[in-house]
């Protein structure tokens, strides 16, 4: 390192070690003070960010700074595996060489060249050689035809099981069946114990197999019912959960494909206490992530108050758990279902990673912006003044849109939308888009909103946004319990032209109820502001 200057007293020092010693002896710096000093005066752009996960790496002192490329050995091994896997995929089109067409073709080519067939067991020469070996050794083309060997097998079975074939032994067959039945039965009981809301009414001796319906009792309402548990499905009470089973099970099935099924806890009541409403539909302890499958009928105002979803989210936050609320209409929509799958996949670190340094930032047309957001953002695209995208190898992978504030006019702009391409995480992409917007249009500040159904605001806080407040829950209207519409669609001055049964003396809500519309509430938003002079790298 070249000669360094102390920014406090302007003294000059030949290297980082000398400067560190000076800061400790002269200015009484602690280890944390030295790190803050380095961050303020010496840290380079993008230094200290793990190139795999984006977290901060370890500070090694003024001499070495944040010289580690990775934040942990886990990231090193994961990055190495992914790089090796990517190399194989790029080269052969498969993540395992032995599965590739290239290997299969080479194998077949070698076999054809050596034996004249694409499989050695199709070669008459090889089969003849095997027969000659058996003839020489046992006197038969197949060793099992040798009477001496057959007699030896029978004697061993008679001595061990009392019969000449173990499958003729009732003890062996019962032992095999009992072991299999016990394992399956215990697995069912274990899963039920995790939920603590259903009881299996079948004893081990009466249990047959997973394919047949079993009898259960719902501990919530006392209903006894029959249901299957094969293919990972969970028994569903027809009285308590008539509209939720397929929806929730589909979410569970997706997670079980990308995550260790043994680590998934279903219908757990042990994590939170939310005034008696403490069940989490799906919980992944390793990631402190919970998922609620919110059916529109059972989660409407007919059964739940406006703060139910918010209170459950708050209860989870107090325990360090992030809670996703997936509305039923979103899962029924193939595009939004895919977006939710990408959100879950991202949380489980399963998405493809791209680094912002490898992307190019460009402004894009409103048509391209809306098309991209309709495919990759739950709220879809909307009009904005500026549409800015990131391109990776000529492919649009990230979009941010900016416009005049819709609700608070004390700010220059509002960040209206931000989304990455599905199943893709652009590390540092959001920051790069904001910096471009700052340099190009020189805004003083902006405001934005994070939907608490799926965001805890960490993305904003990491790069310098300031948390302002939480809003009250917003509401939507539903009539068929398969789709929802925003409250803005049904503002009172519009109702006369929208509703069959309209009374001007009644409120918006009363008119909507009279026309069989009910409300479903979300969790509200987190409100953030950004002063651009404090934007972090």
Q: φ, ψ for residue 189 (rounded to 5)?
A: -60, -40
Q: Pull the structure tokens for residue 158.
A: 């008679």
Residue 157 DSSP label: H
Could you tell me which residues come within 8 angstroms of residue 202 by beta carbon, excluding any fewer than 6 positions away? 214, 215
Query: Which whole number is the average pLDDT over 491-503?
Result: 90
pLDDT at 354: 96
Query: Which whole number is the average pLDDT over 154-163?
Result: 81
User: Which of 196 and 404 is assigned the larger pLDDT?
Assistant: 404
Could you tell me which residues come within 8 angstroms of residue 210 by beta carbon, excluding any fewer than 6 positions away? 184, 228, 229, 230
Query: Which of 23-37, 184-198, 246-260, 361-375 is the least confident region?
Result: 184-198
Q: Which residue has the tokens 């072991």?
A: 179
CA-to-CA dists, residue 258 to 163, 254, 265, 267, 328, angstroms: 46, 7, 15, 20, 21
pLDDT at 107: 79
Query: Which of 6-15, 280-289, 333-342 is the least confident region?
Result: 6-15
Query: Which whole number is the average pLDDT over 90-106?
Result: 68
Query: Which whole number is the average pLDDT over 210-234?
Result: 69
pLDDT (tens digit per residue) in 41-91:
888 887 888 887 888 888 888 888 888 888 888 888 877 777 777 776 676
How many Cβ atoms from other residues are within 10 Å of residue 479's Cβ? 14
> How many percent of the chain have pLDDT more than 90?
40
d(Cα 452, Cα 70) in Å, to the nearest integer? 31
pLDDT at 243: 44
Q: Residue 345: pLDDT band by 50, 70, 90 thresholds?
A: very high
CA atoms within a 13 Å half-sphere pointing along the CA-CB vector of 303: 10
Q: Residue 534: pLDDT band by 50, 70, 90 thresholds?
A: low
Q: String of b and e for 497-531 (b: at least 16 CB within 10 Å)?
A: eeeeeeeeeeeebebbeebebbbbbbbbbbbbbbe
Model confidence pTM above 0.85 = no
pLDDT at 267: 79
pLDDT at 97: 61
Strand partners, 415: 402
**Three-state DSSP class for residue 167:** helix
Q: Quick check: 123 and 129 in contact, CB under 8 A?
A: no
Superfamily of domain 352-474+522-534: Gcn5-related N-acetyltransferase (GNAT) (3.40.630.30)
pLDDT at 445: 94
- The answer, yes or no, to whether residue 140 has pLDDT greater than 70, is no
Helix count (H) and strand count (E) of the chain? 16, 21
- The answer, yes or no, to whether residue 397 has pLDDT greater than 70, is yes
CA atoms within a 13 Å half-sphere pointing along the CA-CB vector of 47: 15
Q: Mean of the per-residue pLDDT values for the chain?
A: 84
Superfamily of domain 243-347: VSR Endonuclease (3.40.960.10)
Q: Pull the structure tokens for residue 473.
A: 């829950």
Q: Residue 266: pLDDT band by 50, 70, 90 thresholds?
A: confident
d(Cα 475, Cα 454) in Å, to the nearest integer? 16
- The answer, yes or no, to whether residue 537 has pLDDT greater than 60, is no
pLDDT at 3: 80
Query: Which whole number is the average pLDDT over 116-142?
Result: 75
Question: Where in the sequence of the chain do the CATH 3.40.630.30 domains occur?
Answer: 352-474+522-534
Question: Where in the sequence of the chain do the CATH 3.40.960.10 domains occur?
Answer: 243-347
CA-to-CA dists, residue 260 to 78, 264, 521, angstroms: 17, 7, 32
Q: Which residue has the tokens 């309709």?
A: 374
pLDDT at 327: 95
CA atoms within a 13 Å half-sphere pointing along the CA-CB vector of 424: 21
Q: From start to end of 167-250, where are the E strands?
A: 198-200, 214-218, 224-227
- The answer, yes or no, to whether residue 231 has pLDDT greater than 90, is no
Q: φ, ψ for residue 466 (rounded to 5)?
A: -105, 130
Residue 277 DSSP label: -
CA-to-CA dists, residue 12 to 18, 27, 448, 530, angstroms: 9, 15, 45, 37
Q: Residue 252: pLDDT band by 50, 70, 90 thresholds?
A: confident
Sequence length of the chain is 537
How many Cβ atoms from other residues are within 10 Å of residue 438's Cβ? 16
- The answer, yes or no, to whether residue 230 has pLDDT greater than 90, is no
Q: Quick check: 433 and 439 in contact, CB under 8 A?
A: no
Alpha helix (H) residue ranges in 139-169: 147-161
pLDDT at 423: 97
Least Cα distance to 385 among 415, 430, 407 occurs for: 415
pLDDT at 93: 63
Query: Which of 268-277, 301-310, 345-354, 378-387 is the least confident region?
Result: 268-277
Q: From start to end of 66-119, where are the E strands?
A: none
Q: Tell me the range of 6-20, 47-61, 102-116, 483-497 where mean pLDDT is highest.
A: 483-497
Q: Residue 244: pLDDT band by 50, 70, 90 thresholds?
A: very low
d(Cα 280, Cα 325) in Å, to the nearest integer? 11
Least Cα distance to 516 among 484, 474, 482, 477 occurs for: 477
d(Cα 312, Cα 323) in Å, to the nearest integer? 8
Least Cα distance to 415 among 480, 453, 375, 464 occurs for: 464
pLDDT at 365: 96
pLDDT at 535: 56
Least Cα distance to 88 among 103, 73, 74, 70 occurs for: 103
Pairing of strands 289-294, 360-363: unpaired
Cα 498 versus chain centre, distance:
39
Least Cα distance to 289 among 343, 353, 231, 352 occurs for: 343
Query: Which whole number is the average pLDDT over 313-322?
Result: 94
Q: Pull the structure tokens for residue 504.
A: 């001007």
Q: Residue 220: pLDDT band by 50, 70, 90 thresholds?
A: confident
């Amino acid at each position: 390192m070249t000669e360094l200057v102390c920014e406090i007293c302007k003294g000059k020092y030949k290297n980082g070690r000398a400067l560190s010693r000076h800061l400790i002896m002269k200015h009484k710096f602690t280890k944390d003070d030295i790190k803050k000093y380095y961050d303020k005066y010496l840290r380079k752009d993008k230094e200290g960010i793990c190139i795999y996960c984006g977290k901060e790496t370890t500070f090694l002192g003024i001499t070495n700074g944040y010289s580690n490329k990775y934040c942990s050995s886990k990231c090193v091994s994961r990055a190495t595996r992914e790089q090796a896997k990517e190399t194989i995929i790029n080269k052969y089109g498969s993540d395992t060489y032995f599965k590739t067409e290239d290997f299969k073709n080479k194998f077949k080519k070698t076999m054809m060249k050596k034996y004249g067939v694409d499989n050695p067991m199709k070669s008459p020469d090889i089969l003849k050689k095997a027969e000659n070996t058996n003839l020489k050794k046992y006197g038969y083309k197949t060793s099992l035809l040798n009477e001496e060997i057959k007699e030896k097998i029978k004697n061993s079975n008679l001595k061990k099981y009392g019969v000449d074939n173990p499958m003729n032994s009732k003890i062996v067959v019962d032992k095999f069946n009992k072991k299999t039945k016990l394992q399956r039965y215990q697995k069912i009981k274990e899963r039920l114990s995790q939920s603590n809301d259903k009881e299996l009414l079948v004893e081990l001796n009466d249990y047959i197999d997973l394919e047949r319906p079993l009898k259960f009792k719902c501990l919530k309402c006392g209903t006894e019912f029959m249901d299957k548990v094969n293919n990972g499905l969970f028994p569903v009470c027809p009285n308590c959960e008539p509209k939720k089973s397929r929806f929730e099970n589909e979410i569970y099935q997706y997670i079980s494909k990308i995550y260790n099924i043994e680590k998934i806890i279903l219908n757990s009541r042990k994590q939170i206490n939310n005034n008696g409403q403490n069940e989490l539909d799906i919980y992944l302890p390793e990631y402190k992530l919970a998922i609620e499958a919110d059916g529109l009928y059972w989660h409407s105002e007919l059964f739940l108050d406006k703060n139910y979803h918010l209170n459950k989210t708050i209860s989870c936050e107090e325990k360090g758990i992030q809670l996703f609320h997936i509305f039923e209409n979103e899962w029924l929509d193939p595009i939004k279902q895919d977006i939710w799958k990408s959100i879950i996949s991202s949380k489980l670190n399963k998405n493809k990673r791209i680094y912002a340094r490898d992307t190019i930032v460009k402004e894009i047309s409103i048509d391209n912006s809306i098309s991209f957001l309709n495919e990759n953002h739950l709220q879809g695209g909307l009009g904005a003044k500026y549409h800015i995208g990131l391109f990776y190898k000529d492919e649009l992978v990230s979009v941010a849109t900016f416009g005049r504030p819709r609700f608070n006019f004390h700010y220059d702009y509002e960040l209206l939308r931000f989304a990455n391409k599905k199943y893709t995480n652009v590390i540092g992409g959001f920051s790069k888009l904001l910096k471009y917007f700052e340099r190009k249009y020189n805004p003083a500040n902006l405001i934005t909103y994070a939907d608490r159904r799926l965001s805890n605001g960490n993305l904003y806080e990491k790069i310098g946004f300031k948390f302002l407040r939480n809003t009250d829950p917003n509401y939507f209207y539903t009539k068929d319990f398969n789709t929802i519409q925003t409250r803005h669609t049904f503002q009172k001055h519009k109702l006369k032209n929208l509703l069959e049964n309209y009374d001007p003396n009644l409120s918006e809500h009363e008119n909507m109820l009279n026309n069989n519309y009910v409300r479903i509430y979300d969790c509200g938003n987190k409100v953030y502001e950004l002063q651009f002079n404090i934007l972090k790298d």
